[in-house]
A and B are shown apart, each in its own frame.
Chain A
Amino acid sequence: MLLYIHFPFCRSKCAYCDFNSYAGCSDVLVFSYLTALKREIGFAGERFSEGKIDTVYLGGGTPSLLSPGEIESLFRKLSSNFKRYSPVEVTAEVNPESATEDVLLAFRDAGVDRISMGVQSLSDDNLKSIGRVHDATGARRAAERIARVFGNFSLDIIVGLPYDTPSLVRDEVRECGNLAPHVSVYELTLEEGTPLAARAERGEIWLPSEDEVAEYMELAVDVLSEAGAERYEVSNFARRGYECRHNIGYWTREEYLGLGAGAHSLVKTSKEGKALPAEIRFASPKDINAYIGGINCVGSFDDVPRAEMTALSPAEIRAESIMLGARTREGFPESLLSGRKFGRVEEFLRREKGRVSLTRRGMAVMNSVLAEIM
């Protein structure tokens, strides 16, 4: 079972971000949140006492804002509450400005063996335009600090930012690929309601065209491959053996438990007396106070209020398997297509050894391909 822990606090909210994160919260709120989170960990430990924890991922928000003491106590809570806690990978997300040596060492001492840092760009103009707290130099220094403590870490880059040019993208991706054994490259998505989307709407910023962004992504794939990092998922690149076990678990539909505000879970249960195993997706309330209140007024995991809860039908499970599998180098079992062929769309598919994966061009237009084959 994979374990995801959400820490939804940030120093400031980036202009493109629509994740479940909040800036400018009081220490009291953070404390109450951590208290509730530990209470939920306690519930989960009881409820899934037989569950073996394979990977842990502490995401955010900005988990590097946690103090060394908070880090120590959070992970102690995890290892002491899950009876079968022997993860093969423990990742923590950090941001450059808060990834101090103290914090990194505290993570290492608490059992973290993989760091994922949001660099986003190595252009100061870009960083400023999307409201990042750090500059390019800050990101480089942080990457060096991480490399001194961790052999395994990942750097995130966003392409499609306002000041991107082909040479900028080529250089920053190459630099990241040389620094880190794992790089994630995301295309900028303008999410409704974000300041960046509003500015783009008003014409205050100019963003690269769809075709340019597609070109940047192609560049990134090439440059990273030269650096020895192979694309193993639409946005993820790693040298052999450095693929993120936790994220692969999402794409292969392993069971996972998300703890914290707005965290999602996929749990496969076999209810007593029922023949069919049920697969259930559920999520906690996104709002921090709603989450804290919900946890504090119940006494067991099954009573925790959920923002959503869906039992999956066999058709949904099949659709999810295709949708998620298509993101990966390994693809999905060909049997899921029930022998169907898709005319010209086949040129975006690779059928090999009973599995179907997307070609490089297919990856770029995945949504449209999925709409044809699902």
Chain B
Amino acid sequence: MSLSHIRNFSIIAHIDHGKSTLADRLIERTGTVSSREMSDQLLDNMDIEKERGITIKLQTCRLFYNYKGEEYTFNLIDTPGHVDFTYEVSRSLAACEGALLVVDATQGVEAQTLSNVYLALDNDLEILPVINKIDLASADADGVKREIEDIIGLDTTGCPLISAKEGIGVDDVLAQIVEKLPPPGGDPAAPLKALIFDSYYDNYRGAISMVRIVDGTVKAGDRIKMFASGKTFEVVEVGVYSPGMRSVNSLSAGEVGYIAASIKNVADTAVGDTITSADRPAAAPLKGYKKVTPMVFTGVYPADGARYNDLKEALLKLQLNDASLTFEAENSKALGFGFRCGFLGLLHMEIIEERLEREFDLDLITTAPGVSYHVTKTSGEKLIIDNPTNLPPAGEIDYIEEPIVKATIYTPPEYVGQIMELCQEKRGIFIDMTYVDTSRVQMTYRLPLNEIIYDFFDSLKSRTRGYASLDYEPDGYEKSELVRLDMFINGDMCDALSLIVHKDKAYARGRGIAEKLKDAIPRQLFEIPIQAAIGGKIIARETVKALRKDVLAKCYGGDITRKKKLLEKQKEGKKRMRRVGSVEVPSEAFVSILKVGDDK
């Protein structure tokens, strides 16, 4: 296949701007999938993706397009749109020469539009702006064009105006992909260099590498070598996604596809690594990716302690396809055995938890999400703490540093006041504010990550009626006055409820959690004091009063089976409780306290 007839591109967009819908239309219009097989959001495989209307894992698909009598091969790499998955976006972009930038004609440029554009520019991609949703009454194509030119600096002359939903303008997009996006370079005869931009585990074929061939050719039977590990494998199958897996004879420079080589361990197909030929190796690997580090941590426990091993198996399986998920075993007095898991962000966390519950049928208890702190002890020893229980006593701590992010917020001007107030409450430091045009403002703040993951996003949405968009990137660590907040139930500390918070927030958080616990813990035979404490000093107290009435009504006409069932249910319920000292705490209590927020 001639390189000049290949186009490798991604679609980038802010969440909800219609990226996956456009991908569906491109697949449909090129006849890659018959309309019988067509289901909405084809590339979103997971149920969660379809339900939430978001893309989590990147997906690729090969399309054939006939333009002016010549056949072109398109490799479309769909990308996630959410800030948590920026890393996945950057990986897919590295496999492309061009990107379609989809902007919603009713919303304009949003925070992630911009961050995705920067990622594309970092990868030297040609960007083709596409204005979507022009069929809607509130669409303002000209205004949005102006925004794209002013904010991003892209030429919008002749850019496709489309409605992916209605199928308007899709042909124009296809034509411009040929006209405006560059074909790949590379030498099919040179030694093999293939960039692994994703890998996952297939139950039948072992670890599968999704690759972009930069130089050379690969086919079944070839012996390949991984640059990172030096391990060699024999290729069993090469193929493309269209959109299901379809084997082909070979993959050559410029093409995108997969390589299966009976690789048992997904770690041997590390994302960012370069595959070369074992017999005729390339001199040097391609530039890889920097490894992502998790930003958000939480304890994940099975509601039924007996299912610890099932949880472990499930996490291992998910990790095969999601290298950004990290976990290590931990042990809580209240919750038993579980795992401290690291995620890219809150959405990533929610999605993993949901997948564990759905795909593996697990009931989970999760602790409050936290971040990773750098602690320097008075002895000079440095620690990284991602579990509040491991924080040394205050007396041993010289100082603590917390992760900071640079947050970019786009908003209509009328919400600027509310946003400033919110950022102030969240210990934000104002950096910059610019009027993009009369209807939109870009605000930049430095904010502690632990405030962002608490309830920042929900507060932002509710205070701006959903109009503001947020993007953030890590921006180093800073010293901060942080304390550990502990909760005591009937005098016993409940490790699963400990939090690291800023000292100015500790009182309100402690009181909020104590109130929630009071409501969540059912009355029992004895009164239960609930206390919030910082370093042994009690800062809030609530009491669950002793139960006064809990009695079976009359045994009517000797029908005692119902009473027996009731008692059995009560005993069943006890089994699902966690014991903190002598008190039974329902699993729901641990979850409900995560929702202490503005609503209090």
Which residues of A are at the interface with B, using a C-beta cutoff of 8 A? 2, 4, 6, 19, 57, 59, 184, 186-187, 189, 210-211, 213-214, 217, 234-235, 250-251, 256, 258, 262-266, 281, 283, 308, 310, 319-320, 323-324, 327, 344-345, 348, 363-372, 374
Contacts and interface: CB of A to CB of B under 8 A. Distances in A.
Contacts of B551: 187, 234, 363-367
Contact of A371 (B549, B558, B574): B574
A321 to B, nearest CB: 11
A355 B137 CA distance: 81
A344 B570 contact: no
B121 interface: no
A369 B560 contact: no
Nearest to B571: A371
Given A283-B561, A365-B550, 10 more contacts: A59-B556, A186-B554, A214-B549, A308-B561, A319-B564, A363-B551, A364-B549, A366-B551, A366-B552, A370-B567
Contacts of B550: 364-368
B523 to A, nearest CB: 8
A233 B556 CA distance: 14
A368 B556 contact: no
Q: What are the 7 closest A-B residue pairs judged by CB atoms, nearest first? A: A214-B548, A214-B549, A367-B550, A365-B550, A189-B553, A264-B558, A264-B559
Given A308-B561, A364-B548, A371-B574, A235 B554 contact: yes
A354 B571 CA distance: 26
Contacts of A19: 556
12 contacts: A6-B557, A57-B557, A186-B554, A187-B549, A211-B549, A265-B558, A364-B549, A365-B547, A367-B566, A367-B567, A367-B570, A371-B571
Given A210-B549, A213-B549, A366-B550, A320 B557 contact: no
Given A264-B558, A264-B561, A186 B553 contact: yes
Interface string B556-589: 1111110110110011001000000010000000
B435 interface: no
For chain B, what secondary structure do more than half of its interface residues adopt (helix, strand, loop), or is it mixed? loop
Interface residues of B, number: 26
B154 interface: no
A368 B525 contact: yes
B558 A256 contact: yes
Contacts of B555: 250-251, 324, 327
B118 interface: no
B525 A348 contact: yes
Given A323-B563, A367-B566, A370-B567, A59 B549 contact: no
A344 B574 CA distance: 18
Contacts of B567: 323, 367, 370-371, 374
B389 interface: no
A326 B563 CA distance: 13
A365 B548 contact: yes
Contacts of A265: 558
Given A189-B553, A364-B548, A250 B570 contact: no
Contact of A263 (B554, B557, B582): B557
Given A187-B553, A365-B549, A323 B558 contact: no
